[in-house]
Amino acid sequence: MLIFSNLLIKPIWIFGIDRWVQVHCGEHIYGEYFALFNVSILFSVLLDFGIQNFNTTQIAGSPLLFRKYFPNLLLLKVFLLFVYAGITMVFAFLSGYKGKQFEYLTFLVLNQIFLSFILFFRSNITAFQKFKLESVISVLDKLLMIIFLSGFVLLPFLREKFNMRIFILFQTLAYLITLAVAYLSLKGFVPEYAFKINKKWLLVMLRKSIPFSILVFLMTIYYRIDGFLLERIAGAQASGEYAKSYRILDAINNFSFLFSVVLLPIFSKMAQQKKPAVDLLKFSSNLIFWVAIPALSFCAMNAPGILNMLYPMHEGQHAPNSWIFILLIFSSLPISFVYIWGCNVLAKQKIMQLNKIVFAGVFVNLSMNFILIPKMGALGAAITFITTQMLMCLGFGCLTERFFDRLLIIRWICYGFFAILLFSLNYSLEWTFFTQLTLEMFLLISGAAILGIASPQNFRKVYQLIGKKEI
């Protein structure tokens, strides 16, 4: 239900509403918003500090703990929101934001605060196994935004009055309504509680959460800093150009993120029972590689057409840079592997090793951005992004259980070369769109055979892991 609702609503939001806002407002205005949005996310780990994950696992194990944990964690989050808001606004001030930009950022910070509390209430709803309710709340804010902005998209007389301030204010309203629904829904079935603060327990929990919070913060930096640096160094226009392709990457990554949400509890259970996860790692990695290669190759071959379809040019505008799109889209493959392999590494509690790898990634990312953005603008940021993601993929892969073997590597190389050969032939012969889709299907079918995904033995192993309650 969670996966279905996300796959139904979020693509409509990203490719329908958010894309329309980009086109309507233009690269400069949206680029400014994109940078401010990334600034609001940079320090958002301070709003959570591992509370959501801790809350879900603890209350799911013993719902009676809700009375003890919920009031303490709620008061802690109230304290943390002031810390987050203060640090973010000071950072924005030191970065040179002022006037209208500061006004927009204030509401974006408020949005992150609302979202943090929504996620906290959702974690309690999940812990009480109200999965259908949690699925509805998970997409409610996006559904409300689609309803709020449909009139501006469809009606010309409303379209003329639309601006970025209206967009941000409607986001705030959607989050506020979702927050109220989440709280009232939770209040309807949880036991009564009293606000009793246990300072000693809170301090112990915060201390235990520090390594994980550092990991999230560092990953947020190398994942979100590019939009901010682009706007500050190269200007809002460059940030807006970059945002066009980045938002598509966001939509693609939603699939692998949801996949990782399913895998994390499985890996955790296997780690607790000291069972090897080699078969599951190999199968899930093969599955990602199998689907990604044809899809990403198709996007790369048709990059100009896809960008022109999503962002039609008006008089005086330049065509979107296809290389930015290609580099960011291909970044989704190492990001997907990081999601999957990261679940395995986290399940084995290798937080300190991960922090060292991610810190190195942040250093590489910042160094390359400061060198390439002044020279190459958005393209430099895209080169930095894919380089960082590939390095992180390599680092995470070194920490996972050793599931790579010679046969797997040979199969991946063969599949990759086979895809390059087919799409090079397609490029030289300039086949039609229908022929390309036929090529995609042929590549998927042949890839399943090359990688051994369709093997009954593979399905039997995975079924034993996740289907027979062995974990």
Angle between helices 303-310 and 278-301 (to 10 degrees): 80
Distance CA 292, CA 269 (A): 28
- Give the C-alpha distances (Å, rounded to integers) separating 433 from 313, 350, 428: 22, 46, 14
Distance CA 470, CA 338 (A): 26
| Residues whose CB is less than 8 angstroms from the CB of residue 87 and which lie 6 or more positions away in sequence, other chains included | 43, 46
Distance CA 443, CA 419 (A): 7
Residue 254 near residue 317, CB atoms below 8 Å: no
Predicted local distance difference test score (pLDDT) of residue 289: 81
124: helix, strand or coil: helix
DSSP symbols for 262-276: HHHHHHHHHHHTT--
| Residues whose CB is less than 8 angstroms from the CB of residue 457 and which lie 6 or more positions away in sequence, other chains included | none
Distance CA 204, CA 271 (A): 24
Distance CA 411, CA 392 (A): 23
* C-alpha 65: how far from chain center: 31
Distance CA 150, CA 217 (A): 35
Distance CA 242, CA 378 (A): 6
Burial (CB < 10 A; 0-12, 13-18, 19+), residue 410, is exposed
Tell me what percent of the chain is helix, strand and coil, each rounded to the nearest 5.
85, 0, 15
Looking up tokens 């929990």 gives 205
155: helix, strand or coil: coil
The pair of structure tokens assigned to 116 is 């943090």
Looking up tokens 């205005």 gives 29
Q: What is the pLDDT along the chain (471 residues), one digit of tens a residue?
A: 555 566 678 778 888 888 899 888 888 999 999 999 999 999 998 887 777 766 665 655 566 666 777 777 888 888 899 999 999 999 999 998 988 999 999 999 999 999 999 988 887 777 676 777 878 888 899 999 999 999 898 888 888 889 999 999 999 999 999 999 998 888 776 656 556 677 777 787 778 778 888 888 899 999 999 999 999 999 999 999 999 899 888 888 877 777 777 777 677 777 777 777 777 788 888 888 887 887 887 788 778 888 888 887 765 556 678 899 999 999 999 999 998 888 888 777 778 888 999 999 999 999 999 999 999 999 999 999 999 999 999 998 888 867 666 777 777 777 777 777 776 766 666 666 667 667 667 766 776 666 666 565 655 655 555 554 444
* C-alpha 316: how far from chain center: 33
| Helix (DSSP H) and strand (DSSP E) numbers for the chain | 19, 0
Query: HEC states along 65-129?
Result: HHHHHHHHHHHHHHHHHHHHHHHHHHHHHHCCCCCHHHHHHHHHHHHHHHHHHHHHHHHHHHHCC
Q: How many residues does the chain have?
A: 471
- Give the C-alpha distances (Å, rounded to integers) separating 353 from 331, 335, 350: 23, 18, 6
pTM value? 0.85
Alpha helices in 128-198 (DSSP H): 131-154, 156-159, 164-187
Q: Single out the residue of 189, 52, 207, 203 nearest to residue 128, CA to CA.
A: 189
Long-range contacts of 438-445 (CB under 8 A, 24+ apart): 440/294, 440/295, 440/298, 443/293, 443/294, 443/297, 443/418, 443/419, 444/290, 444/291, 444/294
Ramachandran quadrant class, 140 (left: phi over 0; alpha: psi -120 to 50; beta: rest): alpha
